[in-house]
Structure 1
Amino acid sequence: MRAHSELDKRFLEYRKSGKDEDLERVVEAGRSLIHHFARLYTGGFGEDAVQAGMEGLMKAVQRYEVGKGTAFATYAAHCVMGEIRHYVRKESSYYRPGSIKDLQFRVARLVDEVLKETGEPPGVSEIAKRLNVKEEGVVQAMRAGLVSLDDVEVDKIRAEKYETFKLPIEDRLVLEQAIKKLNDLQRRVVYLLFYKDLTQTQTAEKLGISQRKVSRVLHKSLQEMGKVFKI
């Protein structure tokens, strides 16, 4: 990656000279790395993430030890990524469906793995391909938490191709939204019947209600969920 080799070169020049103008060249060479992670982890949301990434780059400059076996650009990538992730965790205050949180976690884990394997961060296209999610879906999912779910284009978070015996992410999102509309008793009934695989009788005993009540709650729950699925 040309940007990585340029960053390594500029850092070594600064390490030798200690001059401010050479530090400015390090910053300039690191901008693409900072913007890459800022776009990835925020879906392009805000300049504050860029500032956090800049702080990460400065920490890398101060802490990097030559001769440790890791290129400066790779070390800087970890520092930049770490500061931007910290910013995102601090600023995320909006509801995120479980399937989106899971996708965000898988993105972070994949980035760590690729950085460890190659020393360079993966692009959105590679992430999308390896996680079986459309590119725009990755971008939209990473915005969740920083903005309201109403401002996220959830319909773009879709699987690239369907996998046998695995519910695609778009269906999981709809299912989560449907379950969220149920009341507490309805959610508990659905959870025990479909997620814990209990019978209606076992569910009734677990909840301290009659089997007939479980049946009525289930029927009403499926009607409510059907409105979301439009069936």
Structure 2
Amino acid sequence: MTALQLTGSPSADPAASARATEAGGALPRVEDAGKIAPLDARDLSMIFFDRLQALEEGTGEYQYVRSTLIEMNLSLVDFVVRRFRNRGDGEREDITQVGMIGLIKAIDRFDLTRGVVFSSFAIPCIEGEIKRYFRDSTWAVHVPRRLQELRTELAKAKEHLSNELDRDPNIRELAAHLNLSEQEVEEGLVAANAYIADPLDTPTPGDDEGPRETGRSHADTAGEPDPAMELFENLHTLAPLLHELDDREQKIIEMRFWQDLTQVRIGEELGISQMHVSRLLARALTKLRTGLLPG
């Protein structure tokens, strides 16, 4: 017996209700629409879509018909989500929510005049929404779409070859199976590492040769910014700019900042006034400062 209930007629037959509606009867009021058998939902959905197209969006009846269509076709979401059964329970819940969005979009876009069954239109919409979710939301580090798709191909190839060879395939075998170069396969395998990132509070395993460390996480072993790195980068950028100065400017920069001489002493060494040294030093520093600025 179907789980469908119609208001005022708890044991009514869905097919009979459909025929009555098609003959001009009132639209059936469905209760527990989510428990309707898939075949009954398929027939009733076409009737509800026919009524939906005749209603004004935003009205109470429009909202009832649309909500009932969503509830009646929840089994389509479950059907698609089962294809991703290798996901964890937490991610499966997220996938189901994304699948619901795909179902709602399918209902809003469905055109009854095309003469196709709603499930044939909805399933690709739901599956596409879930795949977009995987592509855009689940990667810990953004990688090009080409590598995201390659990861999926590599996963399928690994499973196929593992069953065939009774062991894990190597890079050469994967490349031959997918008709790719070994370098492309290596690039795809490296990119796959960016799919999931461990939280920083994940405990770190011990070495194979020593005892397992306890109470330590990735955050405890992560490196810290090296204050000398910025200085190194600045010096590395500054070196070619120094070579663009003329000989006297280079000499003044060296005497002032490397030998730590005063401007008066520099003037005495070069036979020029302290004021002249100041102007030459300011001009040289302006050139260096301009070269270091972005753009």
For normalisation by structure 1, the TM-score amounts to 0.41
> Which of the pair has the greater relative contact order for Cα pairs under 8 Å at 6+ separation?
1
Structure 1 or 2: more helix by fraction: 1
For normalisation by structure 2, the TM-score amounts to 0.33
